[in-house]
Amino acid sequence: MFRLSHLAWRLSSIFVGATPLLTLAAEPSTELNPLVITATKTQKALRDVPAAVSVINRETIEQSPASTVDQLLQGVPGVYAARMDASSPNRIAQTYTRGLPGNSRTLVLLDGVPMNVLYDGQVDWSQLSTQDIERVEIVRGASSGLYGANAMGGVIHVLSRAPEAGSVTRLGAEYGSMNSKRLTASHSYGAGPTSLRLSASHFSSDGYTMWRPDATVPTANQDAIGTVKQNASLKVTHELSAQSLLEAGVSYLKDEATGFYRPGAPGYQPSTREQWLPSVRYVREADGASTTAMVYARQGKQWADTLSTPSYRSIAEKGLYQDRTVGGNIQHAWTLTPGQQLTVGVDYLDGDLRNHFDYPGSARLRDTRGDVRRYGLFVQDDLQLTPRWNLNLAARYDHWKTGGNQTDSGAGQPNSAYRSQTDSKLSPKLATLFKLNEAVNVRASAGQAFNLPDMFNLYADTKRGNVTYWANPALTPEKVNAYDFGVDVYFGQMGYAKATAYYNDAKDFIYSVQRNASNVDKINIGAVTTRGLELEAVYRLLPTLTLTGSYTLNQSKIVKNPRDVSLQGKRLTNVPRQQGFLKADYHWAPGSTLFATFNHVGKRYGNDANTTEYQAYSTVDIGLSHALGKQLTARLSVANVADKQYDGIGYIAPGRTVTVGVQATF
């Protein structure tokens, strides 16, 4: 059997975007103290990190029926992931952290690469199939002190699987409700200093009718909404020396939404997105210091058409959205004393978007252009003041420049040319952890974070009917002062219980405000607070039975809005007041697991005035995996066992779904 060296594990793990090159034995879901890298950008045991961090490990991923990353986030305290089913298009998936709505207010990383699209902050959660994910680290709380823009509510870091020792091939097939089909394949090979992993997957579903009863689209024109997703990825690693490592990878996604409207039109594309993500990283560790460097690119292209109303028989608008991002970072960490580690780093990002729209049967053309260039410099001092007391100080300085314009040849349509804007922000953070004893940790943090306006709000003027929605290039970053306090209690090797109270004081939120009957403005307005309590626990009742639970109580509201004082005191939209989760895992035989989950999502409001409500709901899921020998595993999962109908964000859930599958390893 070939063996990858232990060096690969150590060198790759110290980098915030790196993944272990040695596949270890699967950690049990009750692992209490895994090594994490996202909270401090350095490798650190979870129990020593002064932050609220959750880890979804490989074993949990393999047991889950999820086929997209955001589905894995169900049950993480402080996180609301609103995708209703794998057949749902990525464009309507929403993931919020600590009561701050909007995808752009939570930074999402894939192996250290920012995944929030510059146009609207959306995330392509299907960039990697779940078969390609090693683990997901979720850091809750303001994180701009290390990561800069978007990290207002926290950071979700997806870490991909690395090549395994020897030669390993995996094949999988699933079939389920709504004619959902999933095929997966991967091959890993590691020998000597070089190793590689190649994978591909295909998922398709006819979907279901997601339309709410109050939808404005006539019932006769509502069609089922489905999807076709294709993934491919390649990762190659090479040990340059006893202290250094080089890794190169690329992933590809094609995500197509189907259906939506009837009868439709020839050539109609509701939404098709392609995205390439290549990256190269270098890691070196020697003499108590480590250096990492990475360059990456993200190239996305999306086609989205709009049908003519009321017939829905012809295409009124054809849209092509193109976004490009290139970036890189360098980080160096060294141990100054046995109790002090200093980390410094620089980040660079250059991105642009080009959106083009044409109108069949008309000479009208519309183009939106935007670009952004960002520089970041961060420093972190991690101090072990006493054997029980840890202090972490971090600060980051970000500077950026944005520009853009819009042209529209249509009569009476808005045209704009904007001057470039520059700005900067310093984001400090202080965090501390004190060990009262071997079983109890107390932690606290305070920091500032920000979110840059996306290109849509800055530069994309649009006109719908007689109303013009004006972009605003003078929008300033959204800002938040964030605080949290937590207590962690460990019950030996049996489990843990954690509680975290948080408070966010945010200002300059970006809102759409009605100027008059014909114009809507996008402006920075008012102040918002979110406060809440996060509870999570894991306990092994028996050697074969483990319980996992979480609960989130959150209040997100507008506290100041000079343009419309009637909104003061209103709850933020689409944020649940309460969330609860309980899961039982029963390992009834070697390689065989039975699980059941209970998930509760509280009431949410659908508009700023809180006059539209999405009712609370609770669901139960069950699943079974059973080893049919050493090389074959069979799986069965049933989601929403009671077949309940409930609201997501603007769409309804599919009801009960059943999936069966097999996986072979050889």
* pLDDT in the model for residue 464: 67
* pLDDT in the model for residue 129: 84
pLDDT value at 128 more than 90: no
Going through 413-544 in order, the beta strands assigned E by DSSP cover: 416-435, 440-451, 462-464, 467-470, 478-490, 495-516, 519-542
pTM confidence score:
0.93
Enter the DSSP assignment of 455: H
**Considering the domain boundaries, does residue 206 fall inside one?**
yes
* pLDDT in the model for residue 485: 98
* pLDDT in the model for residue 537: 97
Read off the tokens for 559: 């506290």
**Average pLDDT, integer, range 409-415:** 81
Q: Are strands 519-542 and 467-470 parallel, antiparallel or unpaired?
A: parallel
**Average pLDDT, integer, range 332-351:** 95
Q: Cα 197 to the chain's mean position, in Å?
A: 23
> What confidence tier does 9 reach under pLDDT thresholds 50, 70, 90?
very low
* pLDDT in the model for residue 630: 87
* pLDDT in the model for residue 90: 67
* pLDDT in the model for residue 6: 47
pLDDT value at 3 more than 70: no
**Considering the domain boundaries, does residue 622 fall inside one?**
yes
Count of the separate structural domains present in the chain: 1
**Considering the domain boundaries, does residue 117 fall inside one?**
yes
> What confidence tier does 646 reach under pLDDT thresholds 50, 70, 90?
confident
* pLDDT in the model for residue 386: 96
pLDDT in tens, 130-139: 889 999 999 9
* pLDDT in the model for residue 67: 81
**Average pLDDT, integer, range 306-313:** 90
The Cα–Cα gap between 505 and 448 comes to 10
Answer whether 128's CB lies under 8 Å from 118's CB.
no
Going through 364-435 in order, the beta strands assigned E by DSSP cover: 365-384, 389-408, 416-435
- Residue 611: exposed, middle, or buried by beta-carbon count in 10 A (0-12, 13-18, 19+)? exposed
The Cα–Cα gap between 387 and 592 comes to 41
CATH of residue 575's domain is 2.40.170.20
pLDDT value at 163 more than 70: yes
**Average pLDDT, integer, range 150-176:** 94
**Considering the domain boundaries, does residue 338 fall inside one?**
yes
> What confidence tier does 562 reach under pLDDT thresholds 50, 70, 90?
confident
The dihedral through the CA atoms of 649, 652, 657, 659 has a sign that is: negative
**Average pLDDT, integer, range 3-31:** 40
pLDDT in tens, 230-264: 999 999 999 999 899 999 999 999 999 999 999 98
* pLDDT in the model for residue 5: 47
Q: Give the domain range for residue 492.
A: 6-665
* pLDDT in the model for residue 21: 30
* pLDDT in the model for residue 467: 76
More confident residue, 349 or 519: 349
Please give the mean pLDDT across all residues of the chain: 89
pLDDT value at 602 more than 90: yes
pLDDT in tens, 276-286: 999 999 999 98
The Cα–Cα gap between 474 and 459 comes to 10
**Considering the domain boundaries, does residue 1 fall inside one?**
no
**Average pLDDT, integer, range 363-373:** 92
The Cα–Cα gap between 444 and 602 comes to 28
pLDDT value at 4 more than 60: no
Enter the DSSP assignment of 313: -
More confident residue, 510 or 504: 504
Segment among 104-113, 331-340, 391-400, 504-513 with least mean pLDDT: 504-513
* pLDDT in the model for residue 292: 96
Read off the tokens for 476: 């300033």
**Considering the domain boundaries, does residue 70 fall inside one?**
yes
pLDDT in tens, 648-657: 777 888 889 9
pLDDT value at 658 more than 70: yes
pLDDT in tens, 197-226: 999 999 999 999 888 888 888 999 999 999
Closest CA to 105 of 445, 642, 572: 572
**Considering the domain boundaries, does residue 612 fall inside one?**
yes
Percent of the chain at pLDDT exceeding 90: 66
pLDDT value at 361 more than 60: yes
Residue 229, CB-side half-sphere exposure with 13 Å CA sphere: 27
**Average pLDDT, integer, range 283-309:** 93
**Considering the domain boundaries, does residue 54 fall inside one?**
yes
pLDDT value at 295 more than 90: yes
Closest CA to 625 of 71, 26, 65, 201: 65
Answer whether 14's CB lies under 8 Å from 479's CB.
no
**Per-residue three-class SS string for 3-26:** CCCHHHHHHHHCCCCCCCCCCCCC
The Cα–Cα gap between 655 and 208 comes to 10
The dihedral through the CA atoms of 100, 104, 105, 106 has a sign that is: positive
Read off the tokens for 462: 């649009």
> What confidence tier does 26 reach under pLDDT thresholds 50, 70, 90?
very low
**Average pLDDT, integer, range 148-174:** 94
The Cα–Cα gap between 390 and 301 comes to 45
* pLDDT in the model for residue 590: 84
Answer whether 556's CB lies under 8 Å from 577's CB.
no
> What confidence tier does 69 reach under pLDDT thresholds 50, 70, 90?
confident
* pLDDT in the model for residue 145: 96
Percent of the chain at pLDDT exceeding 70: 94
Segment among 31-35, 371-375, 464-468 with least mean pLDDT: 464-468
The Cα–Cα gap between 451 and 113 comes to 17
**Average pLDDT, integer, range 525-545:** 94
The Cα–Cα gap between 68 and 368 comes to 30
**Average pLDDT, integer, range 556-585:** 92
Answer whether 197's CB lies under 8 Å from 161's CB.
yes
* pLDDT in the model for residue 516: 81
> What confidence tier does 430 reach under pLDDT thresholds 50, 70, 90?
very high
